Amino acid sequence: MSCLSPKTNRRWRGSLPRGLREQTYAVDVARTALEALSQAQVDDYDLFILDKSSQ
């Protein structure tokens, strides 16, 4: 399963992708919402992880 997550808050930035990868998920982390949108248009993701508090 492949996941895409735009840049999340500092607390989750490293631990969320690391934890998902440990569970054998393929994880891409976008630095900005615009980058995430570009990646989503090119790659086929099963899951998008959004942090509504990200600025």
pLDDT of amino acid 22: 95
The pLDDT of residue 3 is: 86
| Domain limits, the chain | 2-48
Q: Which residues does 17 contact at the CB level (< 8 Å), separation at least 6?
A: 5, 27, 29
Q: Which residues lie below 8 Å from residue 45, measured CB to CB, with a gap of 6+?
A: 2, 3, 4, 28, 39
Residues forming a β-bridge with 1: none
Q: pLDDT at position 46, please? A: 94
pLDDT of the chain, 55 residues: tens digit per residue: 888 887 766 667 678 889 989 999 999 988 888 898 999 999 999 998 877 765 5
pLDDT of residue 8: 63
Could you tell me the strand order of the sheet in which 26-30 lies?
A: 26-30, 2-6, 47-48
In the DSSP assignment, the letter for residue 52 is: T
What pLDDT does residue 49 have? 85
